[in-house]
Amino acid sequence: MAMEWLSWLFIDSSNLKPAEVPLEKLIEQAKQDWCLAQEAFRTSPDNEDLIDSASYMILAAERRYIYFLKKARQENFYYSPYGNAQF
C-alpha cells in the first residue's frame, strides 16, 4: 500500500516529457490518487503518526487535483469524469 501512496508522485509515462502527458490523464491520475489517499486515511490504524501522514497525503493529492482542474479551465479544456463533453 505504501507504493500506492507514492504513486501520485510518478505518472506512468516512460518516454513522455511532462508537457506531452495528456491533461485528461493527469486529471484522472490526480483524482485517483486523491481517492487512494482518502482510503488510506480511513483504513489507517489508530497510530497518530500514520493518521497525520495520511491526512497530509489527502491535502497534497487534493491540491494537485485542483491544480489540474484549474489548468484545464485556463486552457478551455472541458473535463467531465463521465467523458469529455462540451456544453
pLDDT given for residue 40 in this prediction = 87
Q: How many residues does the chain have?
A: 87
Specify the amino acid at residue 3.
Answer: M
pLDDT given for residue 87 in this prediction = 41
pLDDT tens digit sequence for 3-47: 554 454 555 545 555 567 888 899 999 999 999 999 988 988 888
Please, are residues 68 and 74 in contact by the beta-carbon 8 Å criterion? no
pLDDT given for residue 76 in this prediction = 86
Considering the chain, what is the average pLDDT of its residues? 78
DSSP state of 14: T
User: Is residue 49's pLDDT more than 80?
Assistant: yes
Rounded to two decimals, what is the model's pTM?
Answer: 0.67
Identify the band that residue 48 occupies on the pLDDT scale cut at 50, 70 and 90: confident
